[in-house]
Structure 1
């Protein structure tokens, strides 16, 4: 049994990815939520060094304790350990497409991610002063999703089945909704992704949590 350590569901985008890589593919796990920006989170980081971030997955196997972190590493390791779960498409071309998309999300779109932190308590409220670079990232996102649908045939980013590529873009889709950033190229897929069973479950649980973090909720 895996133990998944995550931050606050409403705000921790990387935690969302780690959780979806388990829950979205039928892999059983226990969940440990550690509130961000608290002494408990600092203590978790110290106790689990060098894994000083969320999400983290821990388990015991072969008499040894194992700890796995970073969303790309989690995706690849779970795909190896659970080959029937379907994290990556079986078709090599679709699998390549999925990995390209996940990798670009992992390392790119920094203006969008920096200006619009994930906040599932926010809904269709634009930024008062969108920063330089945000429009460029939104254009790039539209280009990526258009390309993915043309190449893979949709309705998901890597063909007919929900995959790790979609997991990596779930927090981005939530940002588009939270900050009223959807357009004709992104609206349909973003809505479908937010309605996917595991994604919708995460969002419900996030919105039900009573805790609020002012640095996110007070962002104008």
Structure 2
């Protein structure tokens, strides 16, 4: 398998696809490109038709199968290795996990625009507008319910690490970058996520990158 991802400091969807591949346990080659640079256009030319879409990352090549959406990548991998590796076994827990992943996949536009991922940085005193605050309240409510109802088996949203954690991992990074105040249970969850070995690998790699997107380096430009 080959996984094409963007830079690790800024690309939240790449993080989700990469974590899904790590969770699968399958071997894969990582191809990292700067989607804003000439090397991405060169990579697309070298690979041919990478996808029938707009050239966004992540993209997974698995033999003749090409998947260009992070949730589709996770589901493809779950089909290959067994869905229990990604989803809770309990029906009620699995239903909630799937709903949370789908909501993350399609929602929280205000938070995404207002607090873009920047793994290397920490900003203090960033003003959060009402729409961003609303997204944060909703997310914390979902985390609280998942942890209270299904989190007894470990430190992650549904106890053991799985699809929901993969999809909310970039939000953990955002909350830390912008110093979003969260209650104690969320602090404990975020610490468990941040200290996860795969997250530490991603963080270390992001710190070695030379790519800089100027508009994401100054919180004043995000208003």
- C-alpha contact 2:172 2:190 (8 A) present in aligned 1: yes
Greater CA deviation, 111-120 or 12-21? Answer: 111-120
What is the deviation of 1:157?
Answer: 1.4
CA contact (8 A) 1:101 1:144 kept: yes
CA contact (8 A) 2:123 2:219 kept: no
- Mark the runs of 5 or more structure 2 residues left unpaired by the alignment: none
Alignment match, 1:212 = 212
Q: How far does the alpha carbon of each residue in 1:83-121 deviate from its partner, in whole angstroms, 9 at most, with x for none?
A: 177111222222212111111111112211110110012
**Aligned ranges for residues 1-220 of structure 1 at < 5 Å?**
2-44=1-43, 47-51=49-53, 52-60=55-63, 65-83=64-82, 86-127=85-126, 129-154=127-152, 155-158=155-158, 160-184=159-183, 185-220=185-220
TM-score of the superposed pair, with normalisation by structure 1: 0.89
Structure 1 unaligned residues grouped into runs of 5+: none
User: Which stretch of structure 1 is more off in the superposition, 131-140 or 112-121?
Assistant: 131-140
Specify which structure has the higher proportion of helix.
Answer: 2
Rounded to whole Å, the distance in 1 between the matches of 2:108 and 2:171 is 9
- RMSD over equivalenced CA pairs, Å: 1.8
Question: Which range moves more in the overlay, 109-118 or 205-214?
Answer: 205-214
Matches of 2:134 and 2:214, distance apart in 1: 28
Structure 1 residues 88 and 168, CA, compared in 2 at 3 Å: closer, same or farther?
A: same
- TM-score, normalised by the number of residues in structure 2: 0.88
